[in-house]
Amino acid sequence: MTISVLAVDDSRTMRDMITLALKNEDFHLHLAEDGVHGLEVLEETAPDVIITDINMPRLDGFGFIDAIRDRAASRHTPILVLTTESADELKTRARNAGATGWIVKPFAQDKLIRALRMVAG
């Protein structure tokens, strides 16, 4: 089963890394550059899982998650937060905001895929 993923990160490098990691796997990837852009993409697609960065211009990860949870269509869509190792408090905040899980940057391909499978089947 192809899983459709929306990955939102303002860093091109991170978007590239995610693209590369999911390239030959059974994922259909949508990309967005920040929260606002992410919500726009969300209007057009219904991803099975959303990956989002926290520190982003215009609309950051917390605001983005809030907005996702506010939408009926994505209220229960799993959200994985991209975070750095040292930012434990961020994880807590993210989960309090409604995130499902997290991926610690830098991530290995198998870890990313495992996390996606864990929340999206």
Partner 1 sequence: MSDPMQEIRASFFVECEELLENLFDAIQEMTEDPANKDTINIAFRAVHSIKGGAGAFQLDDLVAFAHQFETAMDMVRSDALEAGDTLVALFFRCGDMLSDLVRMSREGEDIDPDLYAPLIAELAECAGISLEEEEAEVDPADFQPMTLDLDLGADVDADFSFEDADFDAELAAILNDPPAAEIASDAPSGGGLSVHFAPKQSIFENGNEPLFLLRNLSDLSLCDIQLSFTPSQSFEQALDAPGLAWTLQLLDGDDEIAAREVFEFVDGLCELTIERTSPQTAPEPMASEADTQLIEVEAPKSSTPKPTSLPDPAPEDVPTAEVEPPSKPEPPAKEPKPASAKQSAPSATVRVDLDRIDRLVNLVGELVINQAMLSQSVLQAGLPKNTNISTGLDEFMQLTRDIQESVMMIRAQPVKSLFQRMSRIVREASAAVDKKVRLVTDGENTEIDKTVIERLADPLTHMIRNAVDHGLETSDQRLASGKSAEGVVRLTAAHRSGRVIIEISDDGSGINRPKVREIAVSKGLIHKDSKLTDSEIENLLFMPGFSTATEISNLSGRGVGMDVVKSAITALGGRISISSTDGKGTVFSISLPLTLAVLDGMVISVAGETLVVPLNAIAETLTLQPEIIERLGPETTVISVRDEFVPLFDLGVELGYRKPKPSYEGAIALLVVQEDGARSALVVDDIEDQRQVVIKGLQDSYGSVPGVAAATILGDGQIALILDAADLLGQATGRSRDLSTLEKAG
Binding to partner 1, residues 24-83 (CB under 8 A): 33-37, 55-60, 62-63, 66-67, 69, 76-79, 82
CB of 102 to partner 1, least distance (A): 8
Residue placing its CB nearer to partner 1 in the complex, 29 or 99: 99
x/- map, 82-121, partner 1, by CB under 8 A: x-xxx-xx-xxx-xxxxxxxx--xxx-------x-xxxxx
Angle at 90 between CA 88 and CA 96, to 5 degrees: 115
- Yes or no: say if 55 and 66 are a contact pair by the CB < 8 Å rule: no
Interacting residues of 101 by C-beta distance below 8 A, sequence separation 6+: 78, 79, 80, 81, 115, 118, 119
State whether the Cα torsion 60-63-65-67 is positive or negative: negative
Contacting positions for partner 1 (CB under 8 A): 10-14, 16-17, 20, 23, 33-37, 55-60, 62-63, 66-67, 69, 76-79, 82, 84-86, 88-89, 91-93, 95-102, 105-107, 115, 117-121
